[in-house]
Amino acid sequence: MLARRQKIIIALITGSAFLLFFSSSPQLIDHVANVSMKVPYSPWAGRVDCKGEGAFHLQDHSKTEAITETTLPGGAPAPGFTIFDRLYIWNGTMFAVTSNPRAFPQIRYILSQPKEQREGNNLEPTSREMQIITPAEAAPFLGERAVVIEGMTFILYDTSQFMAHYYHWWGEIILGAMRIYSTLSLVPGVRSPLPDPSRFILPNIPDHEWRDRAGVNGPLMRAAFPSTSIERMDFWQDLVDLNQTFVFERAMIVSRSAAHRSPLSTLWYKMISSTMNVTVPTHFWEPLRQRLVLNTVAYLPVMNSAGAVISNPPSQLPIVTYISRQGGGRRLTRESHDGLVKSLNEMSNQGLFELHILRMETLTFSQQVEAVARSTIILGVHGNGLTHQLWMPPSPHSTVIEMFFPGAYIHDYEILARNSGHKHYAVWNDTTLTYPDGEWFKGVDYGPENTFNGNSIPVHGPTVTQVIRERLTSPVL
């Protein structure tokens, strides 16, 4: 065995040789440094690759850009539904930067203070919600650069007061927003098809208050926009807490109170009224309808020219669906309901259509969507069930028949029908009212006192079935 002195001498000689070797080879030193310090760690790499191949990297989509001017790509045709390119946000306030502020609508036609619409509430917007500023004024607020939030953003700048309702969410907020968004496809230079929304932001909703009591809005939003996030107040607060300027690449601000400042609102008293004189692509709603139906019921019913379903499962005849409200408020008298069912069954037995009588509250929402997506005509007393017409396919025969107490008329479901491509009929017992494009019932009428929401609405069954016969047998032009 080696003596201790010999071991020490051997160790000193070996160490000296090692140091001499590395000091005489700077290339090797660089190589070792590159391997040990410059190759990113990758748990998926089977080996360390000195050239960086196979290493883990994140694709960086983040970017900043200089503060440039905000534009209105489609103009500002509808109060309460305004689209901006390069809309800035800092400290919770939105900013439009422009050298020509007069080219922008007044802020009161863009949004309001996020308060409920109640008597005594001042909804007029302040500088806390939004400002329109010049480039010279922008620097103290926004600095020189902004973090880009890419894609199309829908900013629903309201409280939950009307959000948490099937009709108001789908029939006004989403339908109105998509109606105005679709107009961009008519703007020269805008690439079509338009991209899906990247996100919906609800800055004034702290939790799940936007969801309706029946639990329909949320699931149907996932079916319609499966890759789109729905952000709430905490997202908005995160942007505030970062104390940075952000810029939405493209954004629409949606505001109920601002929409009601449109002169058209005084005619129909609906949020979506402000959009109804705007030219839009034909059947603009159809792509979204088809996607929602397909993602909800796993197939898309297809009809022939007569209205019969020819896709599996097929129907031999067009389907007429009566949405009954006899289990709840605002309903027909018992005699009227029984008489209507008798008349519908008699005509169905003549081989003109297949009849379905449904109480929607007894079905899952997927069953509800499937039922109307297979229908050519739906009918019912004025109520939330008629919002389902949004999922009924448009055709030369598609029809919505809405029963009111005689003398009453409001425009909720007629507006939906016009947007969805259906013919709308109002029924006052034994009288029908329908209007061609460009003509409307004048004003809004809730009928005699305590009758609109009552349980004694009359209807003459043969009057309803006569409308159905005319609609199903009318020639297709």
The pLDDT confidence band at residue 35, using thresholds 50, 70 and 90, is very low
| Helix, strand or coil, per DSSP, at residue 150 | strand
**How much of the chain is in helix, strand and coil states, percent to nearest 5?**
35, 20, 45
**How far apart are alpha carbons 359 and 379 in whole angstroms?**
12
- Given this model, what pLDDT does residue 11 score? 54
- Given this model, what pLDDT does residue 9 score? 52
Domain parsing of the chain, residue ranges: 64-275, 286-473
The pLDDT confidence band at residue 291, using thresholds 50, 70 and 90, is very high
Q: Mean per-residue pLDDT for 118-123?
A: 92
The pLDDT confidence band at residue 56, using thresholds 50, 70 and 90, is confident
CA distances from 242 to 154, 156, 193, 239, 390 (A): 21, 22, 34, 5, 40
Q: Mean per-residue pLDDT for 386-414?
A: 97
- Given this model, what pLDDT does residue 450 score? 87
Q: For residue 193, is the peptide bond before it cis, meaning its omega torsion is within 30 degrees of 0?
A: yes
- Given this model, what pLDDT does residue 276 score? 96
More confident residue, 266 or 16: 266
Task: Give residue for tokens 């004189």.
Answer: 277
Angle formed by the axes of helices 461-473 and 334-349, nearest 10°: 30
- Given this model, what pLDDT does residue 16 score? 53
Q: Mean per-residue pLDDT for 396-411?
A: 97
- Which class in CATH covers the domain with range 286-473? alpha beta
Q: Which phi and psi angles does 463 have, rounded to 5°?
A: -65, -40
The percent of residues above 90 in pLDDT, for the chain, comes to 82
Q: What is the pLDDT of residues 331-385, one digit of tens each?
A: 999 999 999 999 999 999 999 999 999 999 999 989 999 999 999 999 999 999 9
Top mean pLDDT of 24-33, 38-47, 184-193 is at: 184-193
Q: What is the pLDDT of residues 144-172, one digit of tens each?
A: 999 999 999 999 999 999 999 999 999 99
- Given this model, what pLDDT does residue 7 score? 54
444, 327 contact by CB (below 8 A): no
Residue 53 has pLDDT above 90, yes or no: no
More confident residue, 57 or 27: 57
Residue 15 has pLDDT above 70, yes or no: no
The percent of residues above 70 in pLDDT, for the chain, comes to 87
The pLDDT confidence band at residue 2, using thresholds 50, 70 and 90, is very low
Q: What is the pLDDT of residues 427-454, one digit of tens each?
A: 999 999 999 999 999 999 999 988 999 9
CA-based R_g, the chain, Å: 31
152, 225 contact by CB (below 8 A): no
Q: Minimum mean pLDDT among 38-42, 115-119, 253-257, 320-324: which range?
A: 38-42
Residue 22 has pLDDT above 80, yes or no: no
**CA neighbor of 113 nearest in space, from 92, 133, 134, 98:** 92
Residue 31 has pLDDT above 90, yes or no: no
Q: Mean per-residue pLDDT for 465-471?
A: 98
Q: Mean per-residue pLDDT for 76-91?
A: 97
Residue 3 has pLDDT above 70, yes or no: no
The DSSP result for 378-437, as a single string, is EEEESSGGGGGGGGSPP-TT-EEEEE-STT-B--HHHHHHHHHT-EEEEEEBTEEE---T
The pLDDT confidence band at residue 4, using thresholds 50, 70 and 90, is low
- Given this model, what pLDDT does residue 52 score? 59
